[in-house]
Structure 1
């Protein structure tokens, strides 16, 4: 062994004053013998079997795992806290879409989601399994008589099913934190990985969307797995890694279409390896075949029901959306950095993420080649979209967190090298300084989510609306169904429908989508003008009116519907969100004076 690493033969090594090469004298083995080997780049020592067992590496490993466990527990606590917000009312407009589709699949005993806008297939299948598990356990324990009773109970109280589903997505969010640690450790070491995981664990935007039933967090999970497989391709180029990358790209696309951007990574790495003399051409072809194969295996109805796919994609490709219309590549990039990213990472976090990105590009060529193409393609895809949503930034948050963690670790290492001191607590202290303001932003968003304008609107109605009143509500105020009123809800071609009767009939999402007619929002502004008379009510609870009032030129037709319906009505109450205290949209509550009784004809 000594000869292999460049040491002289063991017979010529002296211990103290005695030479072990002398056969006439065998010294008593000392209690501790240390051989120090100095190489140009490394210094290390080995001990004989008589030495005490090395405990520092094990202690360091347990410390690192303990810190990771603390980070994951914090991530889980932040995502579970307040996860039942709003229930039984539904504040996120897309949550009913996913749950109704999953229930439709179970009721029709079909694997066809019949909706492919995201496409969301993996999410629908997961929700169907969760629904099946919750329903089966309820029937088995006697809580529900049968499956029909369970579905009826869910329509009456969505929390029965929505809460377990939200907990599943919270678990996906925690898994993203864990994968961020793994990827960060591979790129920049344990400290960079722990810092990156900590930054993502407390990120307000990531916490928010880990608490709702949507595709964003789940798609981000597959993108992180794809990034890890792509880095393995850059490091080893194994066929297994190419196939895994194709699998994760396919599953990511079956969850949300933009995951396809990460397919650029394995392709770029393969070209880079081929240029450096590696025989990876066939492996690249297998990746190119594996990705669409995984997509179609996960979502076979993309082919079997392609007319629906085309219709859904055409409906999703909207040039405008109230409050979310983009303004071109540069303006969209500026908005993403200056609004959602700055609001959750802070200016210091953005600066560190930018610095870390540069340092990774300089210091870790393999990681840069593996990750930069996919991340760059994803950024470009977001920037060129006609619309812009803060949730579209979610897949990029783990990589921003890793870059920020890498920068902190690199700066701390520079400080140690300049001062010549260990400064073991430098990274934790620097990370804490960045985490605290991020945690404050998370706390603010949690408070505003728990205290919503729509809840105050329901409270005002309970105090002021007489029994038997007809009430039009634009949001999914299922908390009002038990009250003695007739609730109306706008539904496109159908006009305004009796919400209690529709839910009692357990409406299918496919029916709702047909009545919606591809409109971007289900609200009063998109009701068929010929059916506007069906929306007349004693009280109008309008939560979308400000979107159209702020842009009456672009949305002139929608604004005319609001103006026609509120003409002659009295504004009884206005509920506006309050920064750091009250969330939700601005809500206007109008009361329409009752029509005078008809005059009786004289006889």
Structure 2
């Protein structure tokens, strides 16, 4: 016979999988945007370099504005795409495969990574507080607009969200399970993968350090092999995923310096009106990227956790707070820099809803028959959760539906092929239809930006 608690835990797990499945469906719907053109301005930075790797066999990306983990993941994926085309479709030359196929494959990979983040958020809440906290957190992140809108685009921010969440989860287990070495190693490895995705992922090592300091305060062992191994795992993992940071050090140093200068001096069309961007980040995150009501729940959860167990709050909040402070100090403002904050916001919101459930059970028990206490409390919390995510779900769904509408560049390309005679000379600027990629009938002169 299955114990009642085991049945309850299984039910929570199934509900979490259902939420993750719904999150996957919402995100997967967006992978075809712009088809048959690759219209996102940033995807090419990763896709074309990964393609270059499999075409030339050169593992040096010659581009270090981003670390190299995602280049290698995409290159491995693209090898699979090429193998499929060779074995099933009889296309042996990678150059003969439509480029958009590689973009679609990369987007599907990001969708899977983002969906995994939803489930990891559930696990964080389940292990920290209670399965209800995890389930509510997963329900909050699943429709969150900032997370959804970056979940089917081949960029580095969604992977950072996954790896930093896993690093924080392992740090929580260091604190709650007595500082077992395997959690030190895993936290360091996941933090290293976060750095290997984006340099700001280095902040993902903070929960590991804080968890160790708290454990050391409890058992009196500040310096030991566990923390040494855990911290060493961060740079080792980074160098395994970005080996040319050493092998091509001059290129690496130059790119990192260029990126720092870029964020300091500004980016036309993506910068704050002041020398910092704290206010724009906070405003967009609260009003659009995550939502006002979910943000209020998250703030309430963070305050409650800080009052209830400041040590757990330090572990949980160190990464998102430091990431916000780091990116906010610069003039350049890209809201996607805060994608990795969303799982932690959702977790705080889930913690508050779980605590609210406990308060409601206690309050209702004084006024209603015992058998109605739990049902009433769960019903109230479920309604509040639904109201909280409704706005974000509508915004995300409309956005996904909108970007899947026929792109004007596709319409322009069709007009060109139907109305201009072959041999016509076409001058085109950046972000215009790449006529030369889809037909050889015209003489195309690229004019730049």
Alignment TM-score > 0.5, same fold: yes
Q: Distance in 2 between matches of 1:240 and 1:57?
A: 28
- Decide whether the 8 Å contact of 1:328 with 1:383 is kept in 2: no
Q: Distance in 1 between matches of 2:333 and 2:143?
A: 23
Structure 2 vs 1, CA of residues 479 and 349 (structure 1 numbering), >3 Å: closer, same or farther?
Answer: farther
Q: Which residue of 1 aligns with 2:250?
A: 307
Q: Which residue of 2 aligns with 1:488?
A: 445
1:228 aligns with 2:194: no
Structure 2 vs 1, CA of residues 250 and 62 (structure 1 numbering), >3 Å: closer, same or farther?
Answer: closer
Structure 2 vs 1, CA of residues 417 and 340 (structure 1 numbering), >3 Å: closer, same or farther?
Answer: same
Q: Distance in 2 between matches of 1:241 and 1:215?
A: 25
**Structure 1: where are the runs of 5+ without partners?**
1-52, 490-495, 497-522, 525-603
- Decide whether the 8 Å contact of 1:328 with 1:384 is kept in 2: no
Question: What CA RMSD, in Å, does the superposition of the two structures yield over aligned residues?
Answer: 2.2
Q: Which residue of 2 aligns with 1:136?
A: 83
- Decide whether the 8 Å contact of 1:325 with 1:388 is kept in 2: yes
Q: CA deviation at 1:224?
A: 0.8
Q: Which residue of 1 aligns with 2:236?
A: 293
Task: Please identify the structure whose Cα radius of gyration is greater.
Answer: 1
**Structure 2: where are the runs of 5+ without partners?**
366-372
The 5 A counterparts of 1:405-424 are 405-420=350-365, 421-422=373-374, 423=376, 424=378
Q: Which residue of 1 aligns with 2:207?
A: 265
Q: Distance in 1 between matches of 2:6 and 2:315?
A: 31
The 5 A counterparts of 1:350-365 are 350-365=295-310
Runs of 4+ in 1 over 6 A off after TM superposition: none
**Deviation per CA, 1:549-594, whole angstroms, max 9, x where unpaired?**
xxxxxxxxxxxxxxxxxxxxxxxxxxxxxxxxxxxxxxxxxxxxxx
1:126 aligns with 2:73: yes
Structure 2 vs 1, CA of residues 345 and 483 (structure 1 numbering), >3 Å: closer, same or farther?
Answer: same
Q: Secondary structure at the match of 1:374?
A: helix
Structure 2 vs 1, CA of residues 466 and 252 (structure 1 numbering), >3 Å: closer, same or farther?
Answer: same
Q: Which moved more, 1:427-436 or 1:122-131?
A: 427-436
Q: Distance in 1 between matches of 2:183 and 2:238?
A: 17
- Decide whether the 8 Å contact of 2:272 with 2:280 is kept in 1: no
The correspondence for 2:118, drawn from 162, 177, 185, is 177
Q: Distance in 2 between matches of 1:224 and 1:241?
A: 14
The correspondence for 1:325, drawn from 268, 271, 281, is 271
Q: Which structure has more helix as a fraction of its residues?
A: 2
Q: Which moved more, 1:339-348 or 1:394-403?
A: 339-348
The correspondence for 2:94, drawn from 150, 169, 180, is 150
Q: Secondary structure at the match of 2:290?
A: helix
Q: Which residue of 2 aligns with 1:91?
A: 39
Q: Distance in 1 between matches of 2:6 and 2:184?
A: 34
Q: Which structure has more strand as a fraction of its residues?
A: 1
Q: CA deviation at 1:273?
A: 2.8
Structure 2 vs 1, CA of residues 351 and 268 (structure 1 numbering), >3 Å: closer, same or farther?
Answer: same
1:434 aligns with 2:388: yes
Structure 2 vs 1, CA of residues 418 and 383 (structure 1 numbering), >3 Å: closer, same or farther?
Answer: same
The correspondence for 1:214, drawn from 122, 131, 155, is 155
The 5 A counterparts of 1:1-80 are 53=1, 56-80=4-28
Q: Normalised by the size of structure 1, how large is the TM-score?
A: 0.68
Q: Which residue of 2 aligns with 1:275?
A: 217
> How many equivalent pairs are there?
432
The 5 A counterparts of 1:367-382 are 367-382=312-327
- Decide whether the 8 Å contact of 2:285 with 2:291 is kept in 1: no
Q: Distance in 2 between matches of 1:203 and 1:456?
A: 31
**Deviation per CA, 1:345-382, whole angstroms, max 9, x where unpaired?**
22111111111111111223342132222222212111
Q: CA deviation at 1:328?
A: 5.1
